[in-house]
Amino acid sequence: MSDKMYRVEIADATGHSVVEMTKTEIAEKARSTEGTWVFVDDRLVSANEIDNLDMADDASVRLMPGLVGGSDEPTITVEIADATGHSVVEMTKSELTEKATSSEGTWVFVDDRLVSADEIDNLDFSQASKVRLMPGLVGGF
């Protein structure tokens, strides 16, 4: 394999960088990071294909994290009340639990029944008609 260097754009969670790499280095980098997609001149190629790929000197090479669409966890429509009013958002059970436990004093109502944040993971939301997060109310002076 040749020591020809190619300009490679590498995208990751921190942004992207531009480096020069040989075909061997490109293939090794793609194999070392699970799920990496390799594009050569805007064509998706496998890491194993790179070694035998006929690449032009000015080939556009990009290494990108694989994209995954959707979520395996179902979502719940949640009304969230706060000092500015309320909003309606879609949340997973884990997001609802996180939100309920991250703000001290938050109350969670499922069909007008007060539930604790610890109960959320065990609840069946398939029949729930209304889920609300509200700031705790304090009475008296």
CA distance 67 to 39: 13
- Kind of pairing, strands 76-82 and 61-65? unpaired
DSSP structural state of residue 66? P
Q: Read off the pLDDT of residues 52-66 as tens digits, 9 standing for 90 and up.
A: 899 999 999 999 988
Q: Read off the pLDDT of residues 72-129 as tens digits, 9 standing for 90 and up.
A: 778 889 999 887 788 888 888 888 999 888 877 889 999 999 999 888 888 888 888 8
pTM above 0.85, yes or no: no
Sorted by where each starts, the structural domains of the chain and their CATH numbers stand as 6-65 (3.10.20), 76-135 (3.10.20)
Is the model's pLDDT at 132 over the cut of 50? yes
% of the chain exceeding 70 in pLDDT: 93
User: Contact at 8 Å (CB) between 46 and 63?
Assistant: no
CA distance 2 to 38: 19
Sheet containing 15-21: order of strands: 15-21, 6-12, 61-65, 36-40, 43-45
